[in-house]
Structure 1
Amino acid sequence: MVLTASTMLAIGTKAPDFHLPEVVSGKKISLATFATKKALLIMFICRHCPFVKHIQQELSKLGNDYFNSDLAIIGISANDAQNYPNDAPESLKEMVTELDFKFPLCYDETQEIAKAYTAACTPDFFLFDSDRNLVYRGQLDDSRPSNNEPVTGKDLRAAIEAVLHNQPVITEQQASVGCNIKWQPGNEPSYFG
């Protein structure tokens, strides 16, 4: 595990489109899937990372809390499944069931979507407004597996509530940290140190 921080993609960046298979149904998911929603949260997560495991119940709670809201949520796993079989689609499908995720979890086999978003770690969060401009790319909250801070989702939830209520999102944002995305050999992006 290499402790890695979010790249902190520039606020205002347009959400890159994608067409990824959802691990449970195989259905293709894209930006158009969420066209009617006021906000879109894209989370780069995986199954094996201790940082994701630490917050996985809160991710499930987020999905439940915002299930019938104007926020769309999608999880994307881009880890190299050959070297990290716990992050392969079949295993991710089990994760969806075990945690009762109310949002689609997709697999980015080529890792091109992770690169398009400059995703660097798991978890890595990207919140977009109704025009699909980036308004938040930061941590869930202050909790880490190595500290005693409670997992509350307060930072991300505050940003979500601001977007949903037409309020400005705080511009001082703390980078998310976690395990580095497990890039396929020779596929590491230029922004990844």
Structure 2
Amino acid sequence: MARTAVTASLAVLVAVGAAVQPQVTAAAGQRLAVAPAVGLLDVDDRIVDPFLAAEQSRAIVFLFASVDCPISNRYAPVVQRLHDRFAAQGVAFWLVYPNPAETPGAIRAHVKAFNYPVHALRDPRHELVKMTGVSVTPEAAVYDRQRALVYRGRIDDRYVRLGVERFAATQHDLQDALAATLDSQRVSQPSTPAVGCFIADFVY
């Protein structure tokens, strides 16, 4: 029965992906067309369009994560602080897992273990990955209330490159992007390089 339900859910996802061609493919910071319909699975195998689910929000942030990525896991406290600050101001947070090998049970346990106060979605077909243009975990993508992509990149500059870490971040890019978006200002650095585990290595 469970296998039948999952198969049916994946079939619907394929239909959604075939029917709607993603339009948000330009560089972050440009005023883009309304984001297309998106159908992602949550940890209960329900299909969710995160834009529709958060249509009353002032901004939406997608945080791409993976269960076994050390850099991604190191950012859990930062994600918690950002959520505590901005969720009350109308920002919707989604945690997105692009690794198709990570099961709903593993993701659910990961969210609990790291105390993420964020709804988790699965992107095994990399629909949202391609739409946002992210390439690693952790990486963030921010959409404004018109569903235009306004920021894509690192959470902060704590990691200079793989294996090289600052004692503390000197630039808080995601925080600044959210603050600017809530103030109806253009994000000064709409795209920044992120350091982490390569999503392309997640075979699907």
Same fold (TM over 0.5): yes
Bigger Rg, which one: 2
Question: Contact (CA 8 Å) 2:29, 2:187: kept in 1 or not?
Answer: no
Find 2:134's aligned residue among 114, 119, 144: 119
- The one-letter amino acid paired with 1:104 is H
String of CA shifts for 1:160-185, please: whole Å, max 9, x gaps.
Answer: 0111122221046421121111332x
2:53 partner letter: T
Root mean square deviation of aligned Cα: 2.4
Instruction: Return 5+ residue gaps in structure 1 as ranges.
Output: 1-6, 82-86, 188-193
SS at match of 2:196: strand
- Flag the 1:98–1:142 CA change in 2: closer, same or farther, 3 A: same
8 A Cα contact 1:111 1:183, kept in partner: no
* Residue 164 of structure 1 pairs with residue 182 of structure 2: yes
Shift in alpha-carbon separation, 1:97–1:165, aligned structure 2, 3 A: same
Unaligned runs of 5+ in 2: 1-24
Indicate how the Cα distance of structure 1 residues 65 and 153 shifts in structure 2: closer, same or farther if over 3 A, else same: farther
Matched, 1:95 2:110: yes
Residues paired across the two proteins, number = 173
Structure 2 partner of 1:75: 95
How many Å separate the matches in 2 of 1:77 and 1:93?
A: 11
Question: What is residue 84 of structure 1 aligned with on the other side?
Answer: none
Relative to its length, the structure with more helix (as a share) is 2
Q: Which residues of 2 match residues 140-179 of structure 1 at below 5 A?
A: 140-144=155-159, 146-151=164-169, 154-171=172-189, 173-179=191-197
Higher alpha-carbon deviation: 144-153 or 34-43: 144-153
User: CA contact under 8 A between 1:63 and 1:101: conserved in structure 2?
Assistant: no
Is 1:19 the equivalent of 2:39?
A: yes
* Alpha-carbon distance in structure 2 between the residues aligned to 1:157 and 1:136: 11
